[in-house]
Amino acid sequence: MSVKIKDVAREANVSVATVSRVLNNIPLVNEETKKRVLDAIEKTGYKPNAIARSLKMQKTNTLGIMIPDISQAFYTNVVRGVEDVCNIYDYNIILCNTDSDAQKELKYFNVFIEKQCDGILFIGKSLKDELINQIAISKIPVVLGALTDSEDRIPSVSIDNEQASYDLTMHLIENGHKRIAFFDDEDETSFVGIERKKGYKRALESQGIAYRKEYVFDGKYSIKGGFDLMEELLKLEDLPTAVFALNDEMALGAIRKLEEKGLKVPQDMSVAGFNNFTVSEWLTPSITTIAQPMYDIGALCARMLIKMLDGHKDEVKSLYVPHKLIERESTSDIK
Amino acid sequence: MSVKIKDVAREANVSVATVSRVLNNIPLVNEETKKRVLDAIEKTGYKPNAIARSLKMQKTNTLGIMIPDISQAFYTNVVRGVEDVCNIYDYNIILCNTDSDAQKELKYFNVFIEKQCDGILFIGKSLKDELINQIAISKIPVVLGALTDSEDRIPSVSIDNEQASYDLTMHLIENGHKRIAFFDDEDETSFVGIERKKGYKRALESQGIAYRKEYVFDGKYSIKGGFDLMEELLKLEDLPTAVFALNDEMALGAIRKLEEKGLKVPQDMSVAGFNNFTVSEWLTPSITTIAQPMYDIGALCARMLIKMLDGHKDEVKSLYVPHKLIERESTSDIK
DNA sequence: CTGAAAGCGCTTACAG
DNA sequence: CTGAAAGCGCTTACAG
């Protein structure tokens, strides 16, 4: 059906070896022969079969990328960064959504191995042991994005989540808040969540403020999640004066619930988020948050992985990218 | 380095053919032999090489998907729908961002062909002629998502953009609005944009309202885009009483600009959007919009394409999925 | 500078 | 029920 290298060879009256050399820009080919081959390619409309090439070369120029859920704003920017860099270096990405589910992660990992991906980008909230084992066994190059490996067995590109969380909590404390609630991820195994909680605790401790378990709420990473959590929180006797939510979507939900109950943000309660969601600066009130350079995280991850594939495995080391506290209207000094 | 089918065969004392039969669940294999092979697979940690298999089978179980930009909320939901269906049928997706750029579209199309994708999903705002030619030449199955081909040469899954736009415009007219501005896509070749403008015009005409060119503004499909366009609009002598923006992000930007100028929405001006962006219902004011079933569009596209790949090409026909007008706070009766 | 041939890791028609 | 062998479409070491 489709035209193959053999057809081009016949058309140009050369061997397939010569056609291959022209295709791969190997210099030893006579200019005239080359021209004949090029004409034959043009004439036949030949397109190389990358699968055949990959089999021979043991290289697919394809990277596997796992993310929890592409429909979450945070990850889309990371993926865009990855793809742009891949485009530069002629790689393509196979994209999979894991929902942070261990089974799906292992399944997709196997798919990446079977489809001979040159490397894997793992974006997510935590790396499970079983997956680490599989990675070690297969020896496939992997880079983590937006999270780190606690033992740094696998290189990563991420913000320092503990420090970022500390910074945000300190900011609230400096504004006079002592009763600060924490809207956590319902997924307790989330490494990123754990790190952020550490930062929150460290900030409290550093200022001699007791950590109160009743101020920590686990919920969904969504607007509705924050909305529901605030409903819970408002049942407390001793209300917090500020809330630190693990993403801006949760923070927005929390704010809307407060408004629904006739409370004002930040006058009655300050609410801070995380990630600097695209719309956060446009909301009323706009949301105080920690910005992560999402696009850069993706781009750097991809560069790092490609560097490993180019044989510079030892030059690669884990990287913290800077986060930034953005103060907006949803938080203020305590009255 | 890695273990191959040959190694498994040696381990199990059978031929590679037998191993292959076990791997592919071909029934004619003796139970005991099968067990021996399975043990050998287990023991050696063998993972099939899908690239080799693809070369032989002329089938990669990989779909190419082109979208304008994964970092735009609308597309992420479509992609998630695609991926979920692909997961069910054991396909994977190679994802590419085209920025609706003709060069990138052609480049990626070639990549999909060379990498032997079984089919292609094209999500976007318009299909250029050159790409249609390439599709025709290559004969690769393609399905369009979120847009249609004006001549229906290629099957698609989409809302009826013209009708949706008509519905929304009619809604504004029924609320007493006669001076309705239209925030259009700056990309004039956008088929989706053209369709929506048709619907807008048809609604105006049907009510005997003259189409006024000065009420149509071209801008970026973003919050900032709407923000800037509203700045322009406010310079008009004869201000519109309502604005219809081609997405909710633009609508939000427009609303914020109005607020900045001390105008109230919807009291001073109604603003409607399109797509029902995740946050639209949570904004103040919440945004009147047309909801598209984005996830379903993606899922149906993928199902359609897979159906074509299964040899039911003739059963496949273009599909309109229902849109839904959602009335919220950003629009109201004219005072 | 060019070609014949081996081989990448699979699947399957054919023969037994 | 099982194996030997051809072939999928490339690349490249080797020979000339």
Count H helices and E strands in chain A, helices first.
Answer: 12, 12
What is residue A1's predicted lDDT score, i.e. its pLDDT?
59
Residues paired with A55 in a beta bridge: none
Q: What is the largest CA-CA distance in chain B?
A: 88
Confidence of residue A4 (pLDDT cuts 50, 70, 90): very high
**Structure-model confidence comparison of residues A188 and A171, the more confident one:** A171
Confidence of residue A226 (pLDDT cuts 50, 70, 90): very high
Nearest residue to B287 (alpha-carbon basis) of B322, B224, B244? B244
Number of CB pairs, chain A paired with chain B, less than 8 A apart: 116
What is residue B335's predicted lDDT score, i.e. its pLDDT?
65
In three-state secondary structure terms, A123 is: strand
pLDDT in tens, A105-133: 999 999 999 999 999 999 999 999 999 99
Count of all residues that appear for chain B in the document:
335
Residue B334 has pLDDT above 90, yes or no: no
For testing contact with chain B, the best of A70, A88, A294 (most B CBs within 10 A)? A70
Confidence of residue B28 (pLDDT cuts 50, 70, 90): confident
- Find how far residue B210's CA is from the centre of its chain: 33
**Is A317 buried (19+), middle (13-18) or exposed (0-12) by CB count in 10 A?**
exposed
The token pair that represents A154 in the structure block: 């696998």
Question: Quick one: average pLDDT of B286-297?
Answer: 97
What is residue A281's predicted lDDT score, i.e. its pLDDT?
95
CA angle A290, A295, A300 (to 5 degrees): 110
The token pair that represents A9 in the structure block: 């060879």
CA distance A84 to A101: 27
Q: How many CB atoms lie within 10 A of CB B328?
A: 18
**Average pLDDT value for chain B:** 95
pLDDT in tens, B312-322: 988 999 999 99
Chain A residue numbers with beta carbons less than 8 Å from the beta carbon of B51 are: 51, 54-55, 60, 115-116
Do the chains contact at A97 and B84, CB–CB below 8 Å? yes
In three-state secondary structure terms, A158 is: strand
Span A5-48 CATH architecture? Orthogonal Bundle (1.10)
pLDDT in tens, B38-74: 999 999 999 999 999 999 999 999 999 999 999 999 9
Alpha helices in chain B (DSSP H): 5-12, 16-23, 31-44, 50-57, 73-88, 102-114, 129-138, 161-174, 191-206, 223-233, 248-260, 294-309
Strand C–CB B50 distance below 7 A: no
pLDDT in tens, B266-288: 999 999 999 999 999 999 999 99
Contact B252, B289 (CB under 8 A): no
- Find how far residue A134's CA is from the centre of its chain: 20
Q: State residue A224 phi and psi, 5-degree precision.
A: -60, -35
Question: Quick one: average pLDDT of A206-217?
Answer: 96
Confidence of residue B188 (pLDDT cuts 50, 70, 90): confident
- Alpha-carbon torsion angle A71, A73, A76, A80, nearest 10: 150
Confidence of residue A335 (pLDDT cuts 50, 70, 90): low
Does the A62-159+295-321 domain belong in CATH 3.40.50.2300? yes
CA distance B121 to B108: 12
Strand D–CB A50 distance below 7 A: no
What is residue A29's predicted lDDT score, i.e. its pLDDT?
84
Strand D–CB B1 distance below 7 A: no
The token pair that represents A23 in the structure block: 């295709």
Give percent above pLDDT 90 in chain A. 93
Strand D–CB A88 distance below 7 A: no
Strand C–CB B52 distance below 7 A: yes
Confidence of residue A28 (pLDDT cuts 50, 70, 90): confident
Nearest residue to A201 (alpha-carbon basis) of A237, A168, A248, A166? A166
CA distance B275 to B293: 9
Q: Which residues belong to CATH 1.10.260.40 in chain A?
A: 5-48
Q: How many CB atoms lie within 10 A of CB B139?
A: 9
Smallest Cβ–Cβ distance between B94 and the set A80, A93, A295 belongs to: A93
Chain A residue numbers with beta carbons less than 8 Å from the beta carbon of B54 are: 51
pLDDT in tens, B109-136: 999 999 999 999 999 999 999 999 999 9
**Is B205 buried (19+), middle (13-18) or exposed (0-12) by CB count in 10 A?**
exposed
CB-proximal positions of chain C, under 7 Å: 1-5, 7-13
Task: Tell me the whole-structure pTM to 2 decimals.
Answer: 0.94
For testing contact with chain A, the best of B47, B91, B95, B271 (most A CBs within 10 A)? B95
Confidence of residue B29 (pLDDT cuts 50, 70, 90): confident
In three-state secondary structure terms, B192 is: helix
Which residues lie below 8 Å from residue A323, measured CB to CB, with a gap of 6+?
A159, A160, A163, A164, A167, A290, A291, A292, A293
pLDDT in tens, A284-332: 999 999 999 999 999 999 999 999 999 998 899 999 999 999 999 999 9
pLDDT in tens, A44-55: 999 999 999 999
Q: State residue B89 phi and psi, 5-degree precision.
A: -95, 15
Q: Which residues belong to CATH 3.40.50.2300 in chain B?
A: 62-159+295-321, 161-292
pLDDT in tens, A85-102: 999 999 999 999 999 999
What is residue B1's predicted lDDT score, i.e. its pLDDT?
59
Span A161-292 CATH architecture? 3-Layer(aba) Sandwich (3.40)
CA distance A177 to A329: 16
Confidence of residue A231 (pLDDT cuts 50, 70, 90): very high
Chain A residue numbers with beta carbons less than 8 Å from the beta carbon of B62 are: 94, 115
DSSP codes joined into one string, A224-290: HHHHHHHHHHTT-SS--SEEEESSHHHHHHHHHHHHHTT--TTTT-EEE-SS--TTGGGSSSPPBEE
Q: Which of residues 185-224 of B touch strand D (CB under 7 A)?
A: none
